[in-house]
Chain A
Amino acid sequence: MTSQPREPEPPDDSADYSGTPRWVYAFAAVAIVLILLFVILHLTGRGFRGHGP
């Protein structure tokens, strides 16, 4: 994709790690739900009648 047009910004000067950003948790939650949905649909065959060669 269109990556790296600029350098990463330096981190804050604070001594402690600020933790995982909230957007990563939100992203992970949505991804897990979608992956589970994808796996369940494939395993149960719902929506894919006649699944498999």
Chain B
Amino acid sequence: MIMTPGLRKLALTAHVIASVGWLGAVAAFLALAAAGLTSQDEQLVRAVYQAMKLTGSCVIVPLSFAPLLTGLIQSLGTSWGLFQHYWVLIKLLIAVFATVLLLIHMQPISHVAGVAAETTLSSGDLRGLRVQLIFDAGAALLVLLVATTLSVCKPKGLTRYGWRKQRQQQLVSRGSPPIPTDR
């Protein structure tokens, strides 16, 4: 299933927008998490954790699914394939891993936001969770930067399946019989 050039450009544009949007939203989340931990202003801390909850559930979670979906469309609709090149496969693993971790970590965000809304958080309250939010956002940012670098550099490397598939296509285009797939 190969997409037409127009459709391919549309899918690529959607994928880039979703991926860069996800990266930017996580960077903003990291800044908010740092402000929430270090600020002495009670009103600011309260507002920061509400903003983090809102950003997490309304922006970051939807944006985490969008690159996964558009990436699947891109890989399956072009000659790159999903399992043929190591960089595509690694990006898929990164997207799945990051999305699962994000969904797991939405609970601590909601908890801190809930406590911040009801009480005044001092610098020592829920310190472990608040540090964790910074750590997780930093780790997510690092992982997304790696995924972006892979997309730009596209390091060479075919999987065994990819090599077999491309070899078959080469032989078919030359008129030779295809090699068996169960090698």
- Rounded to whole Å, the gap between the CB of B78 and the closest CB of chain A is 6
Q: Which residues of A contact B84 (CB under 8 A)?
A: 8
> Which residues of chain B (163-183) have a CB below 8 Å from chain A?
163-164, 166-167, 170
> Are the C-beta atoms of A2 and B148 separated by less than 8 Å?
yes
B126 sits at the interface (CB 8 A): yes
Given the interface pairs A47-B135, A53-B111, the reply to whether A11 lies near B129 with Cβ below 8 Å is no
> Assuming the A-B contacts A20-B157, A48-B131, are A8 and B79 also in contact, with contact meaning beta carbons closer than 8 angstroms in the complex?
yes
Quick one: given A10-B170, A11-B167, are A50 and B157 in contact (CB under 8 Å)? Answer: no
**Docked-complex contact A2 and B151, CB < 8 angstroms:** yes
Q: A24-B157, A48-B135 are in contact. Are A3 and B15 (CB under 8 A)?
A: yes
We find that the number of chain B residues with CB closer than 8 angstroms to chain A is 45
Q: Is the pair B80, A4 in contact by a Cβ cutoff of 8 Å?
A: yes
Residues A1 and B150 in contact, CB atoms below 8 Å apart: yes
Q: How many residues of A contact B (CB 8 A)?
A: 30
Q: Is A50 in contact with B126, judged by CB distance below 8 angstroms?
A: yes
Given contacts A3-B80, A24-B157, A52-B108, 11 further A-B contacts (CB under 8 A): A3-B15, A3-B16, A8-B79, A8-B85, A17-B158, A17-B160, A49-B128, A49-B131, A51-B128, A51-B129, A51-B132
Residues of A within 8 A of B (CB): 1-11, 13, 17-18, 20-21, 23-24, 27, 34, 38, 41, 45, 47-53
26 A-B residue pairings within 8 Å (CB atoms): A1-B16, A1-B19, A1-B20, A1-B151, A2-B151, A2-B152, A3-B15, A4-B12, A4-B74, A4-B78, A5-B12, A8-B84, A10-B166, A11-B163, A17-B164, A18-B158, A18-B163, A20-B86, A20-B157, A23-B155, A41-B135, A45-B128, A49-B127, A50-B128, A50-B129, A53-B107
